[in-house]
């Protein structure tokens, strides 16, 4: 058939209907670029051919040429203001271009013309969700469902609205209903995976993503979301493979690149991680987090000067990024520039003596240089300005432990716990201070409080083991160390504590 159309047009290029029919055939074959050319020929031959105008605008929309598509639909609407096909196409093109408010207005007009058409309400819900109007999006989706309970797009968009509103159980029910109506709805499967992952159900999330991918292997974003879930499961190699599948389709997909970099960090392949994060900074040069990640990877790869440069870029974008300041100081100390770091903060403090960010970072620098008393004085200055600064209180406590001022450290941690009774760091290190003072029963009580809040905290279990060993409960101490090693097999403190505890009973025990 296509050959016949080509022959007819070769004989008479002005045959608009023939060119339009050729476009229809090419569209059905999925050859959108060629279809667009055919519709363009048809319109050139007969500008009044409305079917060709529809086809051309549709192909422009489907190939991502949203501005051209909108102009095409507007051209039709200039003559036929109530043309629902053009209004619907324009609404989709507006959504595709990111102009969601204009898309909502177009759907409002469609609903005004045909209020009982469920799909208009359903797609309006998508546009409302996309612009952040989740309650309105939910209401629009529910209106679509009221008109047509089998409207799968509406159920999917209802799920999206509920997810954003934090109503995850209801969101899952909505996605399940969309899937029940159409088990082949890949988007609903992918969205279900996203909700499952957001609630920590990573295995189930991966299974849902696998269903989505089986139905639509090129569904944008799904491989990246799957990579994130695999990362959370500790399956780092699989996460990298999944991220690579996303990147094969979307080379600039920042989430996939970031997860890939994070997985390399977890595998201690810091050079590869740095290469990936470098790509992220090229795509998103205005992201403080991207530059910090690059700095962290370089830092661990012992490229300290490269790390410092990346941390500085991160801090240019976000001067209050405490981690970037702290790691920059660490990198500077690694190349013998600790004094320069302190001098840098002193210059900032000459301009503004109450700059608590600069004071905190000066404190970090002094800590790294083992100048603990000076660090305490700096954190005291922060607390004189901001008495409830928990980071300053925690850091002052660490420094007080370092100089043997255990009573002072306990006071610092008690201040934190007054502000935040569930602060794990304060509970754990208060226990350390009590242990160092020989107040083992009190240390045990505080450590048990920490474990009641976070039962999977390996450091708290390690500390409990040391305390139990001191009060003679050797068997219980070994069990505590075993629990710590289950949670963190690489913990040298737990390994050493376990060995020392066993040697109390068996002095010749050599460890693992």
Span 376-433, pLDDT tens digits: 999 999 999 999 999 999 999 999 999 999 999 999 999 999 999 999 999 999 999 9
Q: How far apart are CA 195 and CA 166, in angstroms?
A: 10
- What per-residue confidence (pLDDT) applies to 511? 56
- What's the sign of the alpha-carbon dihedral 317, 322, 328, 329? positive
Residues of the chain with pLDDT under 50: 8-9, 11-12
Q: How far apart are alpha carbons 270 and 264 in whole angstroms?
A: 6
Alpha helices, DSSP H, located in 148-185: 152-164, 168-181
- Residue 344 has a pLDDT of 79
Q: How far apart are CA 240 and CA 263, in angstroms?
A: 7
Task: Please name the residue that has the structure tokens 């020392």.
Answer: 500
pLDDT at 14: 54
3-state helix, strand, coil in the chain (%, to 5): 80, 0, 20
The pLDDT, as a whole number, for residue 3 is: 66
What contacts 118, CB < 8 A, 6 or more positions away?
144, 145, 147, 148, 151, 154
Q: Please count the CA atoms within 13 angstroms of the CA of 190 that sit on its side-chain side.
A: 21
Q: Supply the pLDDT for residue 9.
A: 47
Domains in the chain (CATH in brackets) are 455-511 (1.25.40)
Q: State the Cα–Cα distance between residues 431 and 479, nearest whole angstrom.
A: 19
pTM, entire model: 0.74
């Amino acid at each position: 058939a296509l050959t016949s159309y080509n022959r007819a047009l070769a004989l008479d290029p002005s045959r608009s209907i023939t060119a339009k029919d050729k476009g229809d055939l090419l569209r059905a074959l999925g050859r959108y670029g060629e279809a667009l050319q055919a519709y363009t020929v048809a319109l050139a031959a007969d500008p009044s051919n409305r079917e060709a105008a529809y086809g051309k605008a549709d192909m422009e929309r489907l190939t991502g040429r949203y501005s051209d598509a909108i102009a095409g639909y507007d051209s039709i609407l200039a003559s036929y203001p109530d043309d629902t096909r053009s209004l619907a196409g324009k609404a989709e093109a507006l959504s595709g271009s990111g102009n969601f408010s204009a898309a909502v207005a177009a759907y409002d007009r469609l609903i005004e013309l045909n209020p009982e058409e469920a799909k208009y309400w359903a797609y309006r819900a998508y546009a409302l969700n996309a612009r952040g109007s989740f309650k309105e999006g939910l209401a629009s989706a529910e209106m679509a469902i009221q008109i047509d309970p089998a409207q799968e797009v509406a159920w999917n968009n209802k799920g999206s609205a509920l997810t954003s509103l934090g109503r995850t159980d209801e969101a899952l029910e909505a996605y399940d209903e969309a899937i029940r109506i159409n088990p082949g709805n890949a988007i609903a499967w992918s969205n279900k995976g996203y909700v499952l992952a957001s609630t920590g159900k990573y295995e189930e999330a991966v299974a849902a993503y696998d269903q989505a991918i089986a139905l639509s292997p090129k569904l944008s974003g799904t491989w990246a979301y799957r990579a994130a879930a695999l990362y959370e499961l500790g399956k780092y190699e699989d996460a990298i493979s999944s991220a690579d599948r996303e990147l094969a389709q979307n080379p600039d997909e920042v989430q996939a690149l970031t997860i890939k970099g994070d997985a390399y960090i977890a595998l201690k392949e810091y050079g590869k991680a740095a290469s990936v994060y470098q790509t992220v900074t090229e795509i998103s040069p205005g992201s403080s987090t991207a530059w910090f990640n690059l700095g962290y990877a370089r830092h661990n790869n012992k490229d300290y000067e490269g790390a410092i440069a990346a941390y500085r870029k991160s801090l240019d974008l976000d001067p209050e990024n405490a981690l970037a300041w702290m790691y920059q100081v660490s990198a500077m100390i690694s190349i013998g520039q600790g004094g320069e770091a302190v001098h840098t903060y002193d210059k900032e403090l000459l301009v503004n003596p109450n700059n608590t960010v600069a004071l905190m970072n000066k404190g970090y620098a002094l800590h790294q240089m083992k100048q603990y008393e000076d660090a305490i004085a700096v954190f005291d200055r922060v607390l004189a300005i901001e008495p409830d600064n928990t980071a300053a209180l925690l850091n002052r406590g660490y420094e007080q432990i370092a100089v043997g001022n255990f009573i002072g450290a306990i006071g610092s941690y008690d201040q934190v716990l007054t502000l935040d009774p569930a602060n794990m760091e304060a509970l754990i290190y208060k226990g350390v201070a009590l242990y160092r003072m020989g107040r083992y029963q009190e240390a045990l009580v505080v450590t048990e409080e920490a474990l009641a809040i976070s039962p999977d905290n390996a450091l708290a279990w390690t500390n409990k083991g040391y305390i139990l060993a001191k009060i003679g409960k050797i068997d219980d101490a070994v069990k505590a160390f075993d629990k710590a090693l289950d949670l963190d097999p690489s913990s040298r403190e737990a390994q050493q504590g376990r060995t020392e505890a066993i040697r109390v009973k068996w002095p010749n025990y050599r460890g693992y």
